[in-house]
Amino acid sequence: MLEPVYLGHATLDDYAEAAGTEVVAELRRLAEPLRGLRVLHLNATPYGGGVAEILRSEVPLLRDLGLHAEWRLIRGDERFFTVTKSIHNGLQGARHALPGA
């Protein structure tokens, strides 16, 4: 089972003072064709690391733009995460064989 991450609510309007109301309006305009689209972010931890920090802010803002954005956690044992870490490193250009391959 994929566990949902509770994120609360945020709105782009919270950033209007820093980013400017024109920027917020432009983001809303650009997102309009994407309204209703479903986006699933999947990772292993809700805390620590860059992905978790980004998703904690990004997912509520995508929802505010009208997308059905979710963030779910995948659980596994040490062997599972050894394999996924190898895939991650390979996608970033590292030469690495998959464990057990």
pLDDT per residue as tens, the chain (101 positions): 799 999 999 999 999 999 999 999 999 999 999 999 999 999 888 888 888 999 999 999 999 999 999 999 998 888 888 888 888 888 888 887 776 65
Max Cα separation, the chain?
53
Domain at 3-91, CATH class:
alpha beta
Taking CA atoms, 68 is separated from 34, 39, 96, in Å, by 10, 6, 36
Q: What is the residue extent of each domain of the chain?
A: 3-91
pTM of the model: 0.80
